[in-house]
A and B are shown apart, each in its own frame.
Chain A
Amino acid sequence: MFRHKILPVSLLASALLFPALASASAAQDAPAAAKGKGFVSLRQLKSLSTTADHSRFKELQGPFTSGPQVTRACLSCHNKAGRQLRDKVHWTWHYTNPVTGQKLGKAVMVNNYCISARGNEGICAKCHAGFGRSSPDYDLDKLENIDCLACHDGTGTYFKTVVTPGHPRVRALFTPKKPVPWTKAAQNIALPGRKNCGKCHFFGGGGDNAKHGDLSSVLFDPPRDVDVHMSRKGANLACIDCHVGSGHKWAGSRYVMTVGDPGKRAPGAPRAKATCTSCHTQAPHKKTSIIGIKLNGHVDKVACETCHIPAFARGGVATKIFWDWSKAGKLKNGKPYKEGGYTQGNGKERETYMTLEGSLKYGENIRPTYRWFNGVMRYVTIATKIDPSRPVQINSFSGSYDDPGARIYPFKRMQTIQPYDKGNKTLVYPHLWGDDPDAFWGNFDMGRAVARGMKDAGRPYSGQLGYVRSQSWWPINHMVAPKEKAVQCDECHTRDNGRLANLAGFYMPGRDRWWWLDLLGWLAIFGAIALVIVHATLRIIAARKSTPVKEGKE
């Protein structure tokens, strides 16, 4: 009866464990385990069971002044860790989708936020699990460049910096204000906590929650309503409690998604998928109530997230929903500038215009867009011929009611106007970042930046810069609300603009009907009523006429 993520612990055991946990995790971002919940996260249990205090190892006394210096110390004991990382996506930024065969990964992909890491490694690799990745020619076999601390710093104070200084005109904006605490971090090693994962994954797309919509800084310490799993008042789980892994490989890939995981495992088998069902099973609702049975009946067609994440970008931090790159590069008094204009829930102002990025729109508490999805994502690549007359689908997917592998799934839709090659009809890699004169973030000439980006990547470029509308789809999986805040039946089962109003191929009670059957039905009902009224009226009239006669008789 072991859940592999959350181990049920007896009352006695929790009484013994919790004081220890509280102190063990005090240095971590995950505070005291949820008291009285009867379970504790696997990350916390594992942290507790460590037999080593890294701060006392002579190898880690330092002082350290560079990343590779720390990594060499790590690898001197953890002599298999480097090899493990060597082929993993956090390090390589290359990924081949085993289903579609597409060659993906941050090293080559094009999206509709900051467009591409390619050509901009000097800044984008700030979130690479390595040091010094300043160009595509990066030696992946030089294992001392692996950044152990990005994921294993237990102090929460470690940070990564831009790899190259950038164009002199914008350089000051990105220069670190304080030194990286190499030694302190190296002596406080921990399993990855929210701060480790979140420092990159919560800030993708150029800002807090900018990209995903369901991954924001709110998740460092969310209220229960925002995330029932991560809240201290909920299960108090860390990322790796769901995204379990071993050998530096983590479950829960965006490239190959798991939809409709049966959730069944042999006793003792490791959990290899970051799915709801891997803990909650495919029949998580009460089996003894009508509604519970009905809800369990939904599981084969509706993803858990569809009902249990009523909206994304909750908790006060907005997400980008629209980005117009064609407006980028405007100067005020010859200088780059920003304009606020969107105040998000937590009071912080977000930029609706930036010289560096262009025009931006934000949203919060957004009702997701729902689509049938079978887990197979296809991406536009730099080589894809696009049709500029319609929005480019950065990623696309399929699924339908008849596809047993598909579920109704929630998505964030991102809409962008981004540069493309008019002549070759392809998307482009703009060279945004660099200390050279071609970098857009400096000279603010997109044509020049694109020409340079394409040349460096060895891609053809016609020289004709255009802007094209694009759309990308982001599956929503995080910010699971407490059950009492889940989407209610009527929000889909309704005739008026329900959440699933656009999904076809099946009959949904409350939403669908045969209009002509309803018409006939109501005709029958109102016909019967009319008949009754006419007949009753005639009877009353007849009775009045014959009253004197009848009185004597009856």
Chain B
Amino acid sequence: MAFGKKKDKKLCAEVVIYTRYERFWHWSQAALIFILAFTGMNIHGAWHAMPMGLAVIIHDSAAIALMTLWIFTAFWNFTTGNWKQFLPFLQVHPEDGRFVTGVKIFLGRLWAVIRFYAWGILKGEPHPYKKTLQRKQNPLQALAYLTFMVIIGPALWASGLAYLLYDLWNDFASAQSWLQIAVFIHTAAAFAMIAFIIVHVYMTTTGKTVFHYIKGMITGVEEVELSEIEKEYLETHAPDLIKDENATC
């Protein structure tokens, strides 16, 4: 589909932009990460909320569940094309509306978003980025989620798997040194993940209302800018997804 190739008039509507699977992914991932962080810190010795053995059972089970979820999600992202949402440089051209790889466009918009959170939000300015169907995330978000998905996440599961399966390779040469590298990465990435989550959760409060974004992630509905073609397409093929045709973006 080639939405946005023509220069369209921009419309605004409340549309289900987060599909059921996407929401399931998000919330089950959220729950698992919370469980993993809590039990992981227990294993690390930062606190002693439960016995070590129980923490290990929960942590390992949750880790296996999360990795399974990620395998499904990777499959889902690639088959639906949703993965493109996380490519920061893939942007809608401001003039002709084409979907292009534009580093400059990205940087400009990124700066606008950063400026907004640092300053504009305090002045009551509107958010500089308008969500579209193909760019559900603003550049800062896309960059953050990409970091989450290609750096923090893989660092955690790769080091975690090595850690979990240590007994299978502990007779290799220098196994203990490799284990310590894995443990180091796992711990460092876990701290990064927790810091990420704190900021992420706070950012959900920066919508129109404090719970606006959270509500969006539960219902899947969010205001987006639609081109006329996109609107026509939705009206024809997926009228259920349009919740309010005359929303304010």
Residues of A within 8 A of B (CB): 290-291, 293-294, 296-297, 300, 401-402, 404, 488-490, 493-495, 505-507, 509-511, 513-514, 517-518, 520-522, 524-525, 527-529, 531-532, 535-536, 538-539, 542-543, 546, 549-550, 554
Contacts and interface: CB of A to CB of B under 8 A. Distances in A.
A532 B202 contact: yes
Contact of B53 (A291, A404, A511): A291
Interface string B175-205: 0100110011001101110110011001001
A291 B56 contact: yes
A87 B59 CA distance: 57
Interface stretch (B42-50, B74-82, B213-221): B42-50
28 contacts: A290-B60, A291-B53, A291-B57, A297-B166, A300-B170, A401-B176, A490-B53, A505-B176, A507-B180, A509-B45, A510-B43, A511-B45, A514-B184, A518-B46, A518-B187, A521-B188, A521-B190, A521-B191, A524-B191, A524-B195, A525-B194, A525-B198, A532-B202, A535-B117, A536-B205, A539-B122, A542-B121, A546-B123
A133 B205 CA distance: 90
A509 B60 CA distance: 14
Interface string B36-64: 00000001111010011100110011000
A493 B46 CA distance: 12
Contacts of B45: 493-495, 509-511, 513
A509 B44 contact: yes
Given A517-B188, A524-B195, A554-B208, A538 B176 contact: no
A445 B45 CA distance: 56
A488 B48 CA distance: 14
Nearest to B167: A297
Contacts of B56: 290-291, 294, 489
A414 to B, nearest CB: 32
Query: By CB atoms of chain B within 10 A, which of A509, A513, A529, A536 has the most?
Result: A509
Contacts of A514: 184, 187
Interface residues of B, number: 39
A542 B123 contact: yes
A522 B192 CA distance: 10
B122 A493 contact: no
B94 interface: no
Nearest to A289: B57
Contacts of B192: 524
B221 to A, nearest CB: 19
A525 B171 CA distance: 36
Contacts of A506: 176
A488 B180 contact: no
Contact of B61 (A290, A517, A542): A290
The winner among A297, A507, A539 for most chain B CB atoms within 10 A is A507
A406 B44 CA distance: 26
Contact of B184 (A490, A517, A542, A549): A517
A293 B179 CA distance: 18
A554 B209 CA distance: 11
A532 B197 CA distance: 12
| Top 7 A-B pairs, shortest CB-CB distance | A521-B191, A297-B167, A489-B52, A542-B122, A528-B198, A532-B202, A524-B195
Nearest to B122: A542
A106 to B, nearest CB: 40
A135 B102 CA distance: 99
A290 B57 contact: yes
A511 B45 CA distance: 7
Contacts of B179: 507
Nearest to B200: A528
B199 A532 contact: yes
B121 A489 contact: no
Nearest to A301: B170
Nearest to B205: A536
A267 B183 CA distance: 41
Contacts of B199: 528, 531-532
A514 to B, nearest CB: 7
A529 B121 CA distance: 19
Contacts of A535: 117, 202
A542 B120 CA distance: 10
B17 to A, nearest CB: 22
Contacts of A525: 191, 194-195, 198
B48 to A, nearest CB: 7
A404 B56 CA distance: 26
B124 A490 contact: no
Nearest to A492: B52
Given A507-B179, A517-B187, A524-B192, A536 B202 contact: yes
B182 to A, nearest CB: 10
Contacts of A490: 48, 51-53
A520 B52 contact: no
Contacts of B206: 539
B180 to A, nearest CB: 5
A291 B55 CA distance: 10
Given A507-B179, A517-B187, A536-B205, 18 more contacts: A290-B61, A291-B53, A296-B167, A297-B170, A490-B53, A493-B43, A493-B45, A506-B176, A509-B43, A509-B44, A509-B183, A510-B52, A511-B45, A514-B187, A524-B192, A528-B198, A532-B199, A532-B202
